Structure 1
Amino acid sequence: MKVMKRYNDDEMLIKNILAGIEYQWSEYVFHDFYDPSQQKLISSALDKVGVDYSFFGGYIDSERKMLVVGSKDASVFPIEVLEFSLSDQINHRDILGAFLSTGIKREIIGDIVMGTDKAMVFVKDSFSWYLKDNVGKIKNKHLNIDVKSYSSIEVPKRKYEKQQCVASSLRLDNIISKICFLSRGESTQMIKKGMVKIDHVPVEKASYELKPGSIISIRGHGRFLFDRILGNTKKGNKKIQILKYM
């Protein structure tokens, strides 16, 4: 099952980080980028052993963050930003796919931020020039990638597509059927197949109750933010606002 695989992967991640502390020869060591769910697990494990650590993703509101062990206040992280112009036909999944096709692992990449006319990809600095040289185009659009310091850039506001819908409940299967224009049965099958994550954690329970602020990732359909409940209809249904990441 997908959930069990995620559990095993996270367990191995923690073991590797803890094992590395025993052989850490420098004052502090930088690791990979981790999603918010992994950050919580890592924090819990490192708090128990009493070592200093911190996370940073290249800008204040970053989602995926790099771990440094041995320091609570590292002033400079080995992160660089790959910046390039953006067309309307390119989305987050296209960019991630193009970068992963070079053979790197997902943990090398931090956030992918898409603005109105440009995208920024936060990466480990030891891979920035390799990626610049090997990601030549996305969806047949040739790229001119600039490598920049994270301290020198202004992060654009994320692009969202706003959706409003009426739902009888906040059950996961119900909300997915609304935002992806699927039948309730189709959305239930997607959940059972492990195609859905809530806040970066796989959820296989169709009756899972969503809360405002939840990030919903649906394989093949993208990522959504359950922004807020707008109110109730006369029939008692809920009017909700969803933001789709562009």
Structure 2
Amino acid sequence: MRRIEDYITRVNARGQWQLTDFLSPREQTLATSRAEAAGMVVQGYGGYQDAERQRLLLMPGEWYPEAADFHITTLSIDADEPITHGALLGALLGSGIERRKVGDLAVDGERALCAVDRMIAEHVSRELHHAGRVAVHVEVVDSEVVWPKVVYNTATLSVASMRLDAVVAAACHWSRGTAQEVIQAGRVSVEHVATDRADEPVEVGDVLSVRGFGRVRVFESVGLSKKGRIRLVVGILPSRR
């Protein structure tokens, strides 16, 4: 949010748009709300339609940016054998690249697509050679590419609170105690950041990653049940084994 405040200050001072880094859905909501409250127009894009992680353009008026204005490059990654999302993201971050410079990452067996800040695309294509122990080859995609559509299984959960352990337990069909053990073991991430706090608050828009289970995206809260429990609509994307 401090970075967003800096962007807003620049827009007001210069009358020019400002481009953010890649933001998670929660960050997009917060940034959009703050920028619109300051009288700005906001548009987002993540390299393809329906991208989860997007860059935002904060604009002083009703301008009409094109896809190229978001400075996003798509990388095509081929591997010698099947790779995982975690191994590939770990390799990218392990090479010194900040998470905010990387957008969506779609992995399908021995192939993957990755959206990155245009400024680091050539660096990644030259320097990334392995994902874990698997050799990979990276190419910059110049033409338009079709991203695989991510399909979540929709479910409605009933939780006592918006604590992380409560949401994980309901989504994974575990006891609260099992969920707490998994979280404390460092196997759960909130918005791509690992946590061991069972009481971490979960908000609408958050994506939870549970190692060995998959991902849970909190779509919306639809009120309280007659017993006072919170009803959540979530999407569940099982992990590939």
Q: Secondary structure at the match of 1:143?
A: strand
Aligned: 1:131 with 2:131: no
Task: Tell whether the 8 Å contact from 1:98 to 1:135 is kept in structure 2 after alignment.
Answer: yes
Alignment TM-score, normalising by the size of structure 2 = 0.70
Q: Is the partner of 1:188 in helix, strand or coil?
A: helix
Determine the C-alpha separation between the residues in 1 that align with 2:36 and 2:24. Answer: 18
Structure 2 CA distance, aligned partners of 1:124 and 1:241?
27
Q: 1:19 aligns with which of 9, 30, 34?
A: 9
Q: In structure 1, the residue corresponding to 2:216 is in which secondary structure?
A: strand
User: C-alpha deviations, 1:166-201, integer Å up to 9, x for none?
Assistant: x9x54564663476686532413555899553799x
Q: Is the 8 A contact 1:84 1:146 kept in 2?
A: yes
Give the letter aligned to residue 15 of structure 1: E
Structure 1: any 5+ residue segments left out of the alignment? 1-9, 228-239
- Alpha-carbon displacement from aligned partner over 1:24-69 (angstroms, at most 9, x marks no partner): 47x4332211011111111111111112331100111101101122
Deviation at 1:218, TM superposition (A): 3.4
Q: Determine if contact 2:128/2:137 at 8 Å carries over to the other structure.
A: no
Offset at residue 241 of structure 1 (A):
8.5
Alignment partner, residue 37 of structure 1: 26
Which residue among 88, 96, 112 is the counterpart of 1:95?
A: 88
For the residues of structure 2 that align with 1:45 and 1:218, how far apart are their CA atoms?
30
Report deviation, 1:133: 1.1
Query: Secondary structure at the residue paired with 1:152?
Result: coil
Q: Could you tell me how far apart the structure 2 residues matched to 1:180 and 1:87 are?
A: 33
- In structure 2, what is the Cα distance between the partners aligned to 1:53 and 1:214? 20
The one of 192, 212, 215 equivalent to 1:223 is 215
Q: Report the Cα offset of residue 105 of structure 1.
A: 1.2
Cα–Cα, structure 1 residues 134 and 188, in superposed 2: closer, same or farther, change >3 Å?
same
2:101 paired residue number: 108
- RMSD of aligned alpha carbons: 4.1
Q: Per the alignment, do residues 21 and 220 of structure 1 end up closer, same or farther by CA in structure 2, a change over 3 Å counting?
A: farther
Aligned counterparts of 1:207 and 1:100: Cα–Cα separation in 2: 24
| Unaligned ranges ≥5, structure 2 | 220-233
Question: Could you say which residue in structure 1 is the equivalent of 2:50?
Answer: 61
Across the two proteins, how many residue pairs are aligned to each other? Answer: 216
Corresponding residue for residue 4 of structure 1: none
Residue identity matched to 2:238: K
Partner of 1:154: 146
What code does the residue aligned with 1:19 have? T
CA gap 1:142/1:159 in 2 versus in 1, 3 angstroms = farther
Q: Secondary structure at the match of 1:144?
A: strand
Higher relative contact order (CA 8 A, sep 6+): 1
Paired residue for 1:79? 72
Deviations 1:121-154 (A, max 9, x none): 10011100011111111122211111014x6111
Match of 1:243 in 2: 237
* SS, match of residue 125 in structure 2: helix
